[in-house]
Chain A
Amino acid sequence: EPEVTQTPSHQVTQMGQEVILRCVPISNHLYFYWYRQILGQKVEFLVSFYNNEISEKSEIFDDQFSVERPDGSNFTLKIRSTKLEDSAMYFCASNLGGGQFFGPGTRLTVL
């Protein structure tokens, strides 16, 4: 069964460093998303991506964040200068319409 994959599973970084979180969505899906879940809080929408451009983004997704689909399979989230409060689980999701399918997540720890 096709699934969304994410790498790495855990990323530890120093405050102020850049990180890139990687996702491989399900191959025939057209819509791509990033969400995050801070420990003990809700899963929050960050950004959606369709047709090689951002469709929608939340208030969380400020200038420190960017997304890219560099080739036909990968979908990346970059945080330019990480802050302590960026520590969270980051989930990638994709769909054709209907239910979104989530990856296993990347745990980002900012020290």
Chain B
Amino acid sequence: SQQGEEDPQALSIQEGENATMNCSYKTSINNLQWYRQNSGRGLVHLILIRSNEREKHSGRLRVTLDTSKKSSSLLITASRAADTASYFCATAFDSWGKLQFGAGTQVVVTP
């Protein structure tokens, strides 16, 4: 079963706008990771946030984690057409590194 649930399922914005997507999960985690997938391609790792962290930044990406609410958010600032992709959150909950993925948010950025 899928642990993470992303919201919204789809997001359409214009270049320069910010995109925010949320992820909720059900059980305790070691870390939460965000990935990007361009159509028909493999997944690209974006950012990892550990359970004892609340916020992380990487370039135009900002991730927050609220373990009390079992939720995370990914913010992409000043979006570009190249940010068009599906974004997935994945939770790691054991020492084997197994990941449970949500269904993803499909983001379309129009010029």
Partners in one complex: no
